[in-house]
A = this chain, B = another copy of it.
Amino acid sequence: MNPSPAVTAPVQQGGVQDVAAAARRVVDAIVRAGDAIAAQSGDLATALHGVADRIDLAAPPLAERMTTMWLPVDSRLHNPVNGLENPLAPPLEITEGADGDVAGSVTLGLPYQGPPGHVHGGISALLLDHVLGLANIRAGNSGMTARLALTYHRPLPLFEELSVTGRQASVDGRKIHATGTISADGHVAVSAEGLFVRPRAEPGR
């Protein structure tokens, strides 16, 4: 079953997604290099500021961007988890979603590290909060996170494919419960329970 277009966006060759992917490579390389680039840091920083300057020149005013980025075509592209146009997003790839579940896979490198060789506990929380939210969107009842409880069962390795799942558990009026997991090598490493509250009225934007 294909992912719902409400929760994920198609991968495009070319365009902004390519720029974001290249920026992701830069981020990863910087953390992998560390002090090894100290001697050429001036040149590298200048090159990156040059790219940022070029992008700034093209960027619309912030108020305009805050509107257009929430149009249906763009709203799945800029978030920090599976947003293909956001270099912070690893990105999580939504791979399937049977029975209303949302499932995804991701392999995380050094920028996402917490303990040596393992994923930062807060990054696991970020992935799970987002996937629980996507499961709610997919189920047609979504809201803002009110409570999120994470249990860390075992360390989550870097450099290995991780499976992330989310599903809506129940809806009670405006209160929505969802659960999810992150697994490595078939073992659940982190699990989450979330309470989300649907706004009284949909936002106008």
Contact present for A121 and B145 (CB under 8 Å): yes
A 54-70 binary contact with B (CB < 8 Å = 1; else 0): 11101110100110111
> Interface on chain A toward B: helix, strand, loop, or mixed SS?
helix
- Given A33-B58, A147-B152, 6 more pairs with CB closer than 8 A: A21-B45, A29-B55, A32-B56, A33-B59, A69-B110, A150-B150
Interface size on A, residues (CB 8 A): 88
In the assembled complex, A173 has its CB within 8 A of some CB on chain B: no
A110 to chain B, nearest CB (A): 7
State whether A27 and B27 are in contact (beta carbons under 8 Å apart), knowing that A19-B37, A125-B125 are contacts in the complex. yes
Contact present for A58 and B30 (CB under 8 Å): no
Contact present for A51 and B59 (CB under 8 Å): no
CA distance A105 to B122 in the complex (A): 17
In the assembled complex, A6 has its CB within 8 A of some CB on chain B: no
Number of copies: 2
In the assembled complex, A4 has its CB within 8 A of some CB on chain B: no
Q: Which chain B residue lies CB-closest to A35?
A: B16
CA distance A32 to B106 in the complex (A): 25
A–B complex contacts, Cβ < 8 Å, 15 sampled: A14-B42, A15-B41, A16-B33, A19-B41, A23-B23, A26-B52, A31-B87, A35-B74, A36-B60, A47-B51, A69-B110, A78-B111, A79-B114, A121-B148, A125-B129
CA distance A126 to B122 in the complex (A): 4
A65 to chain B, nearest CB (A): 6
Contact present for A47 and B47 (CB under 8 Å): yes
CA distance A40 to B55 in the complex (A): 9
A157 to chain B, nearest CB (A): 12
